[in-house]
Structure formats: C-alpha cells, structure tokens
Amino acid sequence: MASLLVNIDVSDLKKATQFYVNAFSLKIGRRFGDDAIELLGLESPIYLLEKPAGSKPFVDAKSTRNYDRHWCPVHLDIVVASIEAAVDSATQAGASIENPVATKKWGKIAVLSDPFGNGFCLIEFTGRGYDEVATCQPE
C-alpha cells in the first residue's frame, strides 16, 4: 500500500516551523540537516524544505520559486473540529484569510495562505460531511 508525504517549500525554515507548529499544533519529528524538518500530528507527515526564492524547482523549469501569494492546483485541506478556533490559531500564527468562513451543505470552509504564499483550506464537516452532496458512494 502506498502512503502520502506532504512536502512544502519555504524560504525560511525556522519561521515556517514556528508557523506550522503554532497554527496546527504539530510536533517536530526528525531534522534533516539545516534545510528540512519533519512535522507530525496529522494523518500524513509534513516536510518543510528550505529552498531559496528564485531557485528552480527542477532543471528545465521556466519559472522559479516565488514566495509571494501564488496559485497551485494542489493544496492542503486541513479538517478541524472547530473552524473558528482553527482560523484563530492559524491567523495568530501568521496566516492570511483569503475567504472567510462560509457554510456549505457539507460543513464550513475557510481559505487561507501561509506566510510563504502556499494556500490551504480549513474544513469543519457537519452532518454527513461530503456525503451530504455526493452523487455516488464508494464500492
């Protein structure tokens, strides 16, 4: 069976570690030299990787790392017990609110970004969660 590891590029490992530990009550796991750290406390570990702004993500990349707010088609959804408390913790740690808490048929969602431009959503499920709107069930 495969497993999921989450890697997040950041320009300042110390600042990023403080943000993710404080925003989501994560614990520091292993350290990998001076430019990578493992954070534990969610279903998948998060690895913060310090990469300088302006560096290429791969050899033939046409664009370079930019830590202004950017869009990426992959982002974290963090499911929480209380969205209001989670938004408060995240913003106190340095997150920016991009879309405030909104109520949907399946629960509540807020869109934020970390201090390095990486977007994430906080989600609080209510009722049957996504099953409230699902059109088919897994087999």
Residue 60 lies in a domain: no
Residue 25 lies in a domain: yes
HSE (side-chain half, CA atoms, 13 Å) at 43: 7
Residue 1 lies in a domain: no
Residue 81 lies in a domain: yes
In the chain, which ranges are continuous DSSP H helix?
A: 13-24, 83-93
Domain span at residue 20 reads: 6-52+67-132
- Give the count of domains, the chain: 1
> The CATH number of the domain where 73 resides is what?
3.10.180.10
Residue 71 lies in a domain: yes
Residues 26-77 have pLDDT tens digits of 999 999 999 999 999 999 999 999 999 999 999 999 999 999 998 888 899 9
